[in-house]
Amino acid sequence: MNHPKELSPAQVETHPFDHAMILERQADGRFRGHTSAAYWNMVGPYGGTTAALLLRAVMLSPERAGDPLSLTVNYLAPMSEGELMVDAELVRANRTNQHWSLRMSQGERPVATALAITAMRRETWSHTEARPPVVPRPEQCTPTPRAPLPFLQRYEFRHIEGTPFQAGGSSDTKEWVADNPPRPLDYPSLAALCDAFLPRIFLRRDRPIPISTVSMNIYFHTGAEVLQRHGSKPLLAVANGHVFSDGHFDQQGQLWGDGDALLATTHQIVWYKE
Amino acid sequence: MNHPKELSPAQVETHPFDHAMILERQADGRFRGHTSAAYWNMVGPYGGTTAALLLRAVMLSPERAGDPLSLTVNYLAPMSEGELMVDAELVRANRTNQHWSLRMSQGERPVATALAITAMRRETWSHTEARPPVVPRPEQCTPTPRAPLPFLQRYEFRHIEGTPFQAGGSSDTKEWVADNPPRPLDYPSLAALCDAFLPRIFLRRDRPIPISTVSMNIYFHTGAEVLQRHGSKPLLAVANGHVFSDGHFDQQGQLWGDGDALLATTHQIVWYKE
């Protein structure tokens, strides 16, 4: 499912996510990348890799200082297979943070806009008020079979709570999720994982219906060293939704690392047809 | 606390929020407005009015179709008193939604960036899964005294749960909140109300500490007619935080109208010094 014609011998060995994340900085400062067949969704690239590419453009920018703090991605239009360009503008640099404005295009066509913030983390009074739910360990849970979409094969899900298409009374889900094959966690892969939650409406209805993420918001709550320590272990993914209303529903999610390390919280607003 | 020199006789009668929302569309399509002394915060304008002005620029744009669905505002820099300009770019219009990119500047200095989506609401299977907490009615709660900051005087808060500066074990708050004087709800005033929650860290510490919202995200869950029906009644504001970490904390909030009408959900990431 890779792009065989573009793979050099070295790239054949790289993880599909690293291959999907290849961005080439051009003389004019724009970044050139490609959609990834390995992370293909139903009719276009997986929104998680789109978000990750936008974040990666920030991280590759020579002016970048600090770690990612927040990322908002608006998905403007379906993307086609092939080349994509990312413009990353540092709108303002402060003493403790940087504000980035991003746009992804295919040809003349904007396909995504984003805002990102990077920030210096400082030692302060810190406390994780939210608690992870008490759940069985990943090795006690069996991998969940998923639909044969390429991007779903790039993740290993282990079901804990919440089964799609049962028309249940709640959209709550809990599951373990990891890159497949395993890969050490970093900010772009964490951003991509934020889009790997089941669409909330699948929990409430009895069959798949057309859905499309319109906007995704991510707050990153730890420094890079916490992600490094986490390595390639599964993350505990917890999500629920508030409201399904007139063609859009929301979703809020948490991604937990070891212990009480809340790595990211994330929100989406999603279009649906029902 | 208004700008007396700029008030026409008609404006003297307008609500301070409507005065704060005055935007003049120029020949080049940019919007010109002013900071509002009536909504002044500690060292600059209240972030809620900044968000509301950005949203209002979208709503005043002649190409705009549909109602607000989402708004993300990044606060780049302290603003000074005086003129502000808003650039509102319609990046893409689809059949069911529009994607807007916004920038607020003072002189050459960008002070806020934003992304907004407007969308056509369609009749679909709809359901509010979240439930409002069971709380006393507004008339059973007494108005809460607040610090003498101008913007705090523009709201009437009625305390239900969560008292600042008690170094409590939770950042949960519940309160009734309304414009003061009362004013019929609309999307800009709802956006402004999303920034009126107590900073979560005030609930966890025993004294005020410096804080500053870095990014705010809002999802609007109802059509304009629901806001109209709501009128000027108080909204039930419910909020909590997940994590206080290395100089930033998050906040998630809900704004409920009558019955189970969840009007907006909102998230912030906030810088703090402690």
pLDDT means over runs of 10, chain A (274 residues): 48 86 97 98 96 98 98 97 98 97 98 98 94 96 92 97 94 97 98 97 95 98 96 98 97 93 98 93
Nearest CA in chain B to A260: B243
Q: Which of residues 18-77 of A touch B (CB under 8 A)?
A: 69-70, 72, 74, 76-77
Residue A267 and residue B128: Cβ atoms within 8 Å? Answer: no
Question: Omega of the bond prior to A181 within 30 degrees of 0, cis?
Answer: yes
- Give pLDDT, residue B259: 81
Chain B partners within 8 Å of A96 (Cβ): 247, 271
Chain B partners within 8 Å of A76 (Cβ): 91-92, 94, 99
Probe site for chain B from A225, A245, A250 (most B CB atoms < 10 A): A245
Name the pTM for this structure: 0.95
Q: Which residues of B88-97 are buried (b: 16+ CB within 10 A; e: fewer)?
A: bebbbbbebb
| Strand partners for B176 | B158, B236
CB atoms within 10 A of CB A141: 17
Q: Looking at the complex, does the CB of residue A240 fall below 8 Å from at least one CB of chain B?
A: yes
Structure tokens at A11: 């790239």
- Give pLDDT, residue A4: 42
Structure tokens at B69: 């669905």
Alpha helices for A130-272 (secondary structure H): 150-153, 187-193, 200-204, 224-230
Residue B204 and residue A127: Cβ atoms within 8 Å? Answer: yes
Written as one string, the DSSP assignment of chain B is ---GGG--HHHHTS-HHHHHT--EE-TTS-EEEE--GGGB-SSSB-HHHHHHHHHHHHHHSTT--SEEEEEEEEE-SPPPSSEEEEEEEEEEE-SSEEEEEEEEEETTEEEEEEEEEEE-------EE-S-PPP---GGGSPBPP--S-HHHHTEEEEEEE--TTS--S---EEEEEEESS-----HHHHHHHTT-SPPHHHHHSSS---EEEEEEEEEE-S-HHHHHHHTT--EEEEEE-SEEETTEEEEEEEEE-STT-EEEEEEEEEEE--
- Give pLDDT, residue B147: 85
Share of chain B above pLDDT 70, in %: 96
- Give pLDDT, residue B3: 43
- Give pLDDT, residue A215: 98
Query: Is the Cβ–Cβ distance between B50 and B34 less than 8 Å?
Result: no
Q: Which of residues 100-139 of A touch B (CB under 8 A)?
A: 101, 103, 110, 113-115, 117, 119-130
Residue A115 and residue B117: Cβ atoms within 8 Å? Answer: no
Q: What is the mean pLDDT of residues B195-206?
A: 96
- Give pLDDT, residue A3: 43
Indicate if ipTM > 0.85. yes
pLDDT digits (tens, 9 = 90+) for A39-97: 999 999 999 999 999 999 999 999 999 999 999 999 999 999 999 999 999 999 999 99
Question: Quick one: residue A200, left, alpha or beta (phi over 0 = left, psi -120 to 50 = alpha)?
Answer: alpha
- Give pLDDT, residue A13: 78
- Give pLDDT, residue B53: 98
Residue B267 and residue A217: Cβ atoms within 8 Å? Answer: yes
**Shortest alpha-carbon distance between residue B183 and chain A (Å):** 25
Mean pLDDT, chain B, as a whole number?
94
Query: Is the Cβ–Cβ distance between B214 and A70 less than 8 Å?
Result: yes
Structure tokens at B218: 């809002």
Query: Is the Cβ–Cβ distance between B141 and B195 less than 8 Å?
Result: no
Query: Is the Cβ–Cβ distance between B196 and B253 less than 8 Å?
Result: no
Residue B129 and residue A241: Cβ atoms within 8 Å? Answer: yes
Residue B4: burial class (beta carbons within 10 Å; 0-12, 13-18, 19+) = exposed
Residue B245 and residue A91: Cβ atoms within 8 Å? Answer: no
Probe site for chain B from A71, A72, A103, A255 (most B CB atoms < 10 A): A72
Residue B250 has pLDDT above 50, yes or no: yes
Q: d(Cα A160, Cα A139) in Å, to the nearest integer?
A: 12
Q: What is the mean pLDDT of residues B267-274?
A: 95
Probe site for chain A from B117, B194, B227, B245 (most A CB atoms < 10 A): B245
